[in-house]
Structures are given as C-alpha cells and as structure tokens.
A and B are shown apart, each in its own frame.
Chain A
Amino acid sequence: MKIARHIIASAFVFMVLIAAAAQGADSGSGDGVLKIGTPNMVKSASILGDSSLGVFAHLSNPPLMKMTPDGAVVGQTAKSYEVSEDGRTWKFVIDDSLYWSDGTPLTPEDVKFTFEYLAENVPSAGWIKNTVRDISVDDGSVVFTLNQPYSRLNLEFATYNVLPKHIWEEIDDPVEYINDGESIGCGPFVIEKIDLPSGVIEFQKNPYWKGEQPQVDAIEVHMYDNMDVLSLALEKGDVDAYYKYAGTYPYANVQKLEDNGNFDFVEKDNVGLIFLGMNLKKEPMSDLKFREALSYGINYDEILNLDALGYGEVANRGFVPPSMVYFQETDALRYDPDQAREILDEAGYKDLNGDGLRENLSGKDMKLLLLTRNDYQRASELMKEYLSDLGIDSEIKTVDSSTWIATKDQYGYDLTVTRTTPWGMMMHANWGTGYFDSRRTGEGVLHVLDDPAFLELCDDILASTSESELEGYAEDLQDYYAANLPGIALYWNKVLTPYNREWKGWVSDPLYGIYNQDNFLNVTRSGA
C-alpha cells in the first residue's frame, strides 16, 4: 500500500507543479485580442478547399458584396453596383481605397482574376462558366456580361472571397493549396497563422487598411470539437463570443450563461429553419391531401417548446420565414388532429382491417420511413408520435450524414426532418427553392419537386430584371408553398449568439451572423 500511496502522491505533486509552472509560462493574448469560440472545425489550411476556413477568411479576403443586418445586399469590396435593364450586364465599382496586406493596391483586375480563376478551378463555382459570358475591366469597375438574366448575382458574390492575383496566379490547383502561415488579404484583418494542433486561427491587422480603424488589435478564432467544452470556455473567459455558421448557441446551455451574469446575446430571427421534408416522388407523400392532413397532425407549439425550448414561433404554411426579404404572410400552420383524421378518411387512407393503423389507397399496410440524423432525433421522435396519433405507422431510421445524403438522393425514404441554412434559403431562385427544385443536386437538398408550375416560377425569379417583379414572384412562390406543402416548416427559430459583456457593439447579418466585417470593425472592449 505504501507504493500506491507514493504513486498517488507523486502524481498529485507532479500535477500541481506542472499546472503552476505552465500557468506562469502562459503568455496570454492581451486585452486587445478578441477571441471567438466556434464548433466549426477547420480540418485543413486550404482557403478554397475547407468550407469552414472559407467562411473565416471573409475577414481577410472580403467578398465583393455583403449583407447588412436588415438583409439588404450592398457592396463590400465593391463600393457600389448597377445592373442593366435587361439584367444581363452587372457593373461593380471596386473600392479603390483597399490595399492587400503586402502594400499592393486591390484592383479590378484582381476581382476579374478571382472570378475567372474560381470558375476554372473550383468545382462549386463552376456555374460561373455557364452563366457569365465575359468579365471585363472598365475604369475602376468590373463588368460581368451574362448569357441570360440572373437576378441573384449580387447575392452569389457575397459568398466568394476576393483573391490577390499576384499571389494566386502562381498556384495551379487552388483547392489543394495549403498555407497555414501568413496570407495576403485586403480586409481589416488578415490571417497570420492557422494552427490546427492548437485549434486557433490568428488574425492580425492589415497594415495597409485605410478604412475605419478596428477597435481591437487582433482576432483569434478558437475551434472546439465539443460543444459542452466550448460552453465552459465561454464561462471561463477563454473565449469572448460564440460563432457557428448557420447555427445558434444550444438553447439548453443558454440559462447557464444567463445565470453567470457576464453574458448578453445577439438575438436574430433565423433565415434557415427546421422542416419536415417529404419524398414527393412516392406515394403517399405525392398526394397533396395526405400532406395536408399531415400538416394538421403536427403539434407545432409542442415541437417548438421541446425542440427549440420556445426560442422561435410557429411557422406559416408559406415556409419562408419573416426574416427573409419579401416575406408574404400566409396562413399559420395549425394543430388540429381531428381535421387531419377527417382529411385522411376522406382521401381514402382508412383502417380497413381494424388493426388501428391506416392502410394506403390500395388497401395495403402502410409504414412510413422517417429518415433522420442525430441532430434531429428529438423532432423525429415527436413526428413519429404525431403520425401514430393519426393512425399512421412509421419507423425512424437514424443515420450519419453521408448515409442520409446517399439515401435521400436515391429517394429511399418517405419523410425526413432536416434543415435549411441561411445561404441554402437564398441559393438558386431564393426563398428555399434550391431545396425542392428537382433539377438540382447537392448534399443538403431534397430535389423532389418537378411540378412545371414551380419550375417555371423558379426560372422566372432567376430571370427577373426588376425588384417589383421579384417581389411579385416571391409572393407567388410563398402562395405556392402554402397551397402545395412540398415541405412543412416545423418552426421558425431564433439564432442566439452569446458574447461577454466586456465587449460591446455587436451586429449580426442574416447570412453569416456575427462573423462580418462591420462587427469586427465596431466591437470594442467596454470602457476602452
């Protein structure tokens, strides 16, 4: 037993010594460093290859456009833009006060190069080749001439980082290009180091930044694999604020931060949402009456309270949340199980053999497959209960993300609980169309809707050349959603972003939340 005591005592003494020695040696990052904690893990130091790093690099390589807190698309690297009446010529006037961090001025040539380079080398930007006929430079501006009108071009350009031509023209395969050291940017801050083993991305001020001077000396993005540990890091003061692309701080952890007393929250209506996706290519989901019945069978208040802890509101039949531009008020989704049962009976989905479960229109047993992922487990279990209340048999299949993608691409499901991201809501013809249009593919999209009326509406939106036209189409689209229910929004939630009260001046935009240039120029330490 003496040996045991010695081992335990030695371990304890060693632990205290190492903790004390290392705490003395820790340099600390200083008062002027703003630290953001995120669960978005950067896996590789490839700005064009790693989607998380691509978002973080918006600060060093700001896109041409940006979204304001109220959702308007305005210039960022571009001072302004204009579009011709036929919608085929877009002219972006480049901000001539911007300099790359090596002292070279940012020119329209850089912007032209960026889009030609991305179109040629980055698969996800391949659409540019099909849409843009020519890119030219015209007296401080870049002019994009399109093959056909494309009303969402300004919005698309809010997502692509602008690159310095004199650096990237030497790189043949940009997606595979890795640089974990200093990179050249034209934003107020530029990437100094991407240190994956320590889980930190460091940003320093751009010495050639001529615009409004930032209030902080440096920014660090700290990545955490584990959400609970990230919450502890916030409380401990290791990080000052939370950021997750297309996501909120976990509602279950909010109370703890509120009790702590050192935190406030930026609260924003989410543009993305959680919804019930349906395989419209297969019966019974292809039957509008069945979908209609389903919409009355969901207890929206309960699902909002249990899944989002009440941080949100019951959605409308029009799917699109009020946080999106040209939101149209449609009927609210309503829980009325009796009406749901009545519609099912009238439509012919009856329990013919008396086993308590409804049969399909051919009189055969019907068991719906509810495909889900771990993130949506609770909502899926509630859905199963609601279906059961209506006499519909169902089975939950919980899978990992890759299996979910493969299964939904093969239409091997009846129902699925999934989400839209803010960018996802805006992509394609905007207002969530990218999730339903059967002509599209992609990891998160369902591509189940091939109704010609819907497809025509999408094409009209893409080709529209005026805001008033666009507004009209947006309303038509939401009416279409309300009437046809290709997806049912389970709730419209809020995005909560906690920050330490030591820092003030936070703003959030609908696309990238608090990770925007205005925020990092304005945030300042209280009392500074």
Chain B
Amino acid sequence: MLWGKTARYAIAFFLIISLNFAIPRAMPGDTLTNLMGEDVHLSEDAMLELKAKVGVDQPIHIQFLNYWRDLFHLDLGYSYHLHAPVSSLIRERIKWTMLLVAPSIIMGAFVGTLLGALAGWRRKEAKSRLQTTGFLLIYCTPPYFLSMLALYFLGFELGWFPLKGFYQSGTIGDIAHHLFLPVLIMTLFSASRNYMIMRGSVIQERQMLYASYARAKGLSSDQILFRHIFKNAALPIITLVALDFGFIFSGALFIEIVFSMHGMGNLIYDSLLCRDYPVLQGTFAVITIMVILANLLADWTYGLVDPRVRWQR
C-alpha cells in the first residue's frame, strides 16, 4: 500500500517536472525574446553569442537532459533576466511571501472553519444568515477589486495603511503596518471559502444519526458540535489548507500587483511574460515538491482525524 502510494507520487513528480520543462518552451517566443528592451538593436552575431551564453542554442533534448542533471545537483539554474541564480531569487522572495501568505492561510482556516461551523449549526438564525451573506459576498468578489477597494478606503481615504511595498523603514512595526492590509484581504478570502465549505459540511453532518444520538444522550448543543460534528465536517478543510500551503510558493499575484510587492507571485508572473525559462522551471519545481508534500501531509492528517481512513490503510 505504502509502496504503491510512493510510486504514484514518484511518477507524478517525474511527469510534472518534465512538464515544467516543456510548457514554457511551448509558448511562443523564447527566453531571449524580451531580454534586451523594446528599442534595442542586436546584431546577428551578438544574438548568437547571447543564445550560447543562455544555453538555448543546444538541441532541445540536450537542454532537457541538462535540466534534469542540474536538478539532481539541486541547481535551479541562472536567470539572465534578473541577473541572479534562481535559488537565491526564490530565497529572497519566499521570505516575504511567507510573511504575506502564511498568516492569511492560518487565520483564514481558523476564522472560516470556526464561523462556518457555527453558521452551519445555527443556520436558521438571522445573524447566521447575515454572516453567510457577508462571506458569500467576499467569496464572489474578484480579489483585485476587493484589494483596490480596501486600499482606497483604508489606505487612501483614511490614510491608515501604506499603499505599497513590504516596508519603508524596515522595523518590525513598519513591516506589520505594510503587511496588515494585504494579509487582511487574503485572510478574508481564505476565510470566506473555508466558511462556505465548513457551513455546508456541518449542515450535512448534523443530519446524521450519530448527531441525533448525541442529542438523545443529553449532550449540549456546543458539545455535539465541537466534540462530534466538527471533526467529521472539517475533513475537506484539511485538504484545502494543505493545498493552500503547497501553493504558498506561488504567492498571491493580485495582492502583490495591487500592493507593489516583490514576492513569488510577481516573480512567476514576470517570468511568464518574458519567458524566463530557468525561473519558471525553478519555481514550478519548488511548487511541485510543496504540493506533493502537502498532499502527503493531508493524507497523514486525514488518518489522524478519521479512524475509518486509518483502518482502510
């Protein structure tokens, strides 16, 4: 069973990593297309020299083999667009992205799951319906629009928060000040999705026989919800949160663009636009590994929370 699962993950890993090589190259243009600037002329000789330097003069199968060889040596390549090794670019960006995304996922999971469970349990109450409408509204709002709205009112009109960047002076308070608004928006999005799923899940679970049995035993409403229903209803949230953590490395593109943040989302987006193959391959490889690890973690947590899953193993 364990071997089967490991083999599945290994095959998935090989295929995805190979696709990471193929997909950027399937796009029109190449990594030199956008390297020099809009109004710069390059002679044919200079172009050939540059191709050799970047390594795209080699046949595609040689490039593919080199790519795998470098990966086995933990070498993610070098970006001629950003003038740095890909691993150092990722290291530089990831620390800021972690600060932005990790608190949002954790708080979004906590707030969304808790409020969603309560809303599902007391779904007929007016306050619960109002709350659900609020979260539904956030859930349906395009992230770009909500970010601009929050930035306009809280950053521009009230002047409570800065309009861009991760910091100005670099103190902890200053960083927290810069991050608060983007984290708040991301938390709201994460919470609204978790809220809707948890609410639906609790509504389904409360109709189960074990919930009626718990009530017949004389347990209080809160005891039934948090001791019995919550654990069963929270299973889909585990998968979602695990995947969210897997995708931490892809950043939060819209938030980063609105708040001019130099994070992973922007790194990947810019690399896509200018066909920066090494950065695309490197970042996709890291995301692949993280998603696979997150899936493994979700599998393990499922077994921990749900004895039926443990038994099936």
User: What is A's interface to B at a CB cutoff of 8 Å?
Assistant: 1, 3-4, 7, 11, 15-16, 18-19, 21-23, 25-27, 43-44, 46, 49-51, 123-124, 126-127, 130, 175-178, 196-200, 222-226, 228-229, 232-233, 235-236, 238, 246, 399-403, 405-407, 420-421, 423-424, 427-428, 434, 440-445
Contacts and interface: CB of A to CB of B under 8 A. Distances in A.
B84 interface: yes
Nearest to B181: A15
A123 B177 contact: no
Given A1-B122, A11-B184, 9 more contacts: A19-B177, A25-B173, A43-B270, A127-B41, A178-B84, A228-B148, A402-B275, A420-B39, A443-B39
B163 A406 contact: no
A21 B83 CA distance: 38
17 contacts: A21-B177, A22-B174, A43-B81, A49-B83, A51-B36, A123-B42, A123-B47, A124-B41, A196-B262, A197-B261, A199-B165, A402-B28, A406-B29, A441-B41, A442-B36, A443-B34, A445-B39
B198 interface: no
Given A3-B115, A130-B43, A424-B38, A402 B27 contact: yes
A25 B176 CA distance: 12
Interface in B242-265: 256-262
Contacts of B36: 51, 123-124, 442-443
A232 B173 CA distance: 24
Nearest to B118: A3
A19 B181 CA distance: 10
Nearest to A130: B43
B154 to A, nearest CB: 8
B150 to A, nearest CB: 11
Contact of B180 (A15, A126, A441): A15
B213 interface: no
B27 A226 contact: no
A423 B44 CA distance: 21
B151 A229 contact: yes
A424 B63 CA distance: 35
B266 interface: yes
A442 B37 CA distance: 8
B39 A424 contact: yes
Contacts of B176: 18, 22
B210 interface: no
- Among B33, B47, B159, B167, find the residue whose CB has the most chain A CB atoms closer than 10 A: B33
B164 A222 contact: yes
Nearest to A199: B165
Interface of B: 27-30, 33-34, 36-47, 49-50, 80-84, 96, 111, 114-115, 118, 122, 125, 127-128, 131, 148, 151-152, 154-156, 159-171, 173-174, 176-177, 180, 184, 256-262, 266, 270, 273-275
B28 to A, nearest CB: 4
Q: Report whether over half of chain B's contact residues are helix, strand or loop; otherwise say mixed.
A: loop
A236 B177 CA distance: 17
Given A19-B160, A123-B36, A229-B151, A407 B49 contact: no
Contacts of B170: 198
A423 to B, nearest CB: 5
Nearest to A11: B184
Contact of A403 (B27, B84, B156, B184): B27
Given A401-B34, A442-B36, A225 B256 contact: yes
Contacts of B274: 401-402
A430 to B, nearest CB: 13
A405 B34 contact: yes
A441 B48 CA distance: 13
Contact of B166 (A1, A197, A407, A445): A197
A516 to B, nearest CB: 18
Contacts of B174: 22, 25-26
B28 A229 contact: no
A228 B115 CA distance: 34
Given A26-B168, A197-B96, A199-B164, A124 B28 contact: no
A197 B167 contact: yes
A3 to B, nearest CB: 6
A444 B38 contact: yes
B28 A442 contact: no
A420 B159 CA distance: 39
Given A199-B164, A405-B34, A15 B262 contact: no
A22 B33 contact: no
A423 B39 contact: yes
B164 A224 contact: yes
Which of A15, A123, A400, A440 has the most chain B CB atoms inside 10 A of its CB? Answer: A123
Contacts of B152: 232
B82 A43 contact: yes
A238 B163 contact: yes
Contact of A178 (B83, B154, B257): B83
A200 B165 contact: yes
B151 A19 contact: no
A1 B29 contact: no
Contact of B42 (A50, A51, A126): A126
B115 A7 contact: yes
Contact of B177 (A22, A235, A441): A22
Contacts of B256: 225
A26 B169 contact: yes
Given A123-B50, A126-B42, A126-B43, A51 B37 contact: yes
A443 B33 contact: yes
Nearest to A198: B165
A233 B164 CA distance: 9
A199 B260 contact: yes
A226 B260 contact: yes
A41 B167 CA distance: 17
Contacts of B49: 123
Given A401-B273, A405-B33, A424-B38, A19 B161 contact: yes
Given A22-B177, A229-B151, A126 B45 contact: yes
Given A1-B128, A232-B151, A442-B39, A198 B257 contact: no
